[in-house]
């Protein structure tokens, strides 16, 4: 029997309607459009509005659309992993809310927290389940409502984040397509540079944690930037080298969208030209677990069967990694 690989057989995304431009941010903090565009590449981001709307409100429409596009009966889905840093609730998992609301009644699921590398880690995990031969349809979601934990008085941080996400279907493939290799890394010495101080078991919510604004994402941007440039470029170069890939062999680089300068540094290190790099940071900013599926969704029509695709991410934790896959279908 030929080896089973895990192939992406469909992709969908969801960007909330409300557009927050750099000009709107100018009315909230001391910043300007020129600074934000030149330092990050971001022009606008989406914000999920409305009472009681959590990350599942992004994931559910994406999954429903994915089921429709792939002509999948939700009852056939075996598993759903939701990569997110902004779950609807501390517990239970957002994956449970998504499966219940999308009719995936036979799927088990859980959330995976790896900050901005979440989608990559979840995709690598789902691929392992497919490769066992026991699971036939797995949905990988990457979604975040970053506006729930962004401090809109912190100009160095609030300008990069936005809300959004997407989902992919993973299925077994026996033509050698799909996930070929992955490199995943974690280093907890990065915790001080990007984290949320309160709201976990170490510092549960109190009036003091609220007054000190500790329920927001805290970031030392310059430090994170330094590690991100090196981390994302290193793993992307390493995955090329160990799979004997030259820049010419690569059809697409799909980078996490945190800062256009980090993306450019990664592409340069790989020797990949800008025409092969998926970029939509200008429209959505950094949606954490959402960036890579949002890119795949937007560029789906340009992907061809057999294309060599490298995904790369870096995020809080620190977590980082890359995945090399062969795209499994032509534009429909």
The verdict on 259 binding ligand UT7 (CB under 6 A) reads yes
Catalytic residue among 22, 173, 280, 286: 286
By CB under 6 A, which span of 31-39, 76-84, 269-277, 293-301 interacts with ligand UT7? 31-39
Beta bridge partners of 184: 321
Q: Could you give the CA distance from residue 250 to residue 272 in angstroms, rounded to a whole number?
A: 8
Q: According to the binding rule CB under 6 A, does residue 282 interact with ligand UT7?
A: no
Backbone φ, ψ for residue 121 (5° rounding): -65, -40
In the beta sheet, which residues pair with residue 91?
none
Site string for ligand UT7, 83-112 (x = CB under 6 A): ------------------------------
Listed residue (144, 143, 147) closest to 166, CA to CA? 143
Q: What is the DSSP string of 56-113?
A: HHHHHHHHHHHHHHTT--GGG--EEEEE-SS-SSSSS-HHHHHHHHHT-TT-EEEEE-
**Of these, 119, 135, 216, 225, which contacts ligand UT7 (CB under 6 A)?**
225
Q: Rounded to an integer, what distance in angstroms lies between the CA atom of residue 140 and that of residue 128?
A: 12
Positive or negative, the Cα torsion across 289, 51, 93, 135? negative
Residues 11-30: x/- map of binding to ligand UT7 (CB under 6 A)? Answer: --------------------
Range 138-157, binding ligand UT7 (CB under 6 A): 155-156
* Structure token pair of residue 70: 């792939």
Buried b (16+ CB within 10 A) or exposed e, 222-239: eebbebbbbbbbbbbbeb
Residue from 221, 231, 285, 321 touching ligand UT7 (CB under 6 A): that is 221
| Total residue length of the chain | 332
Q: Is there a catalytic annotation at residue 256? A: yes
Active site residue 158: no
- The single residue among 20, 81, 127, 160 that binds ligand UT7, judged by CB under 6 A, is 160
Residues 296-325 that bind ligand UT7 (CB under 6 A): 314-315
Catalytic residue from among 158, 256, 259, 280: 256
Name the minimum Å distance from CB 58 to ligand UT7: 17
**Angle (nearest 5°) at CA 206 between 200 and 212:** 90
Active-site residue, from 104, 116, 158, 295: 116
Stretch that binds ligand UT7, among 50-58, 63-71, 182-190, 222-230 (CB under 6 A): 222-230
Interface with ligand UT7 (CB under 6 A): 31, 35, 39-40, 116, 155-156, 159-160, 194, 221-222, 224-225, 228, 258-259, 262, 286, 314-315
Q: Which residues are catalytic?
A: 116, 256, 286
């Amino acid at each position: 029997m030929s080896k089973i690989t895990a192939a992406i057989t469909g992709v969908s995304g969801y960007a909330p309607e409300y557009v927050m431009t750099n000009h709107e941010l100018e009315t909230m903090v001391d910043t300007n459009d020129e600074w934000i565009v030149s330092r990050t590449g971001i022009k606008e981001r989406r914000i999920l509005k409305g009472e009681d709307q959590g990350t599942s409100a992004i994931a559910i429409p994406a999954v429903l659309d994915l089921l429709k596009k792939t002509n999948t009966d939700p009852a056939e889905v075996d598993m759903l992993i939701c990569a997110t840093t902004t779950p609807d609730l501390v517990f239970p998992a957002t994956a449970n809310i998504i499966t219940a609301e999308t009719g995936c009644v036979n799927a088990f699921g859980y959330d995976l927290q790896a900050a901005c590398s979440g989608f990559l880690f979840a995709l690598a995990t789902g691929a392992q389940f497919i490769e066992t031969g026991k699971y036939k349809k797995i949905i990988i979601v990457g979604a975040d409502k970053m506006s729930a934990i962004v401090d809109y008085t912190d100009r160095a941080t609030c300008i990069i984040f936005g809300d959004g996400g997407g989902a992919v279907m993973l299925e077994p493939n026996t033509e050698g397509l799909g996930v070929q290799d992955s490199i995943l890394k974690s280093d907890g010495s990065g915790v001080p540079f990007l984290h949320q101080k309160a709201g976990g078991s170490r510092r549960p919510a109190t009036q003091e944690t609220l007054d000190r604004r500790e329920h927001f994402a805290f970031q030392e941007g310059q430090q994170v930037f330094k590690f991100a440039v090196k981390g994302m470029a290193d793993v992307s170069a390493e995955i090329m080298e160990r799979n004997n890939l030259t820049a010419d062999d690569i059809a697409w680089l799909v980078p996490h969208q945190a800062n256009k300068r980090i993306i450019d540094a990664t592409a340069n290190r790989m020797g990949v030209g800008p025409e092969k790099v998926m970029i939509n940071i200008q429209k959505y900013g950094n949606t954490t677990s959402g960036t890579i599926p949002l890119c795949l969704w937007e560029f789906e029509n340009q992907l061809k069967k057999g294309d060599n695709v490298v995904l790369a991410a870096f995020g809080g934790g620190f977590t980082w990694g890359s995945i090399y896959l062969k795209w499994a279908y032509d534009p429909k």
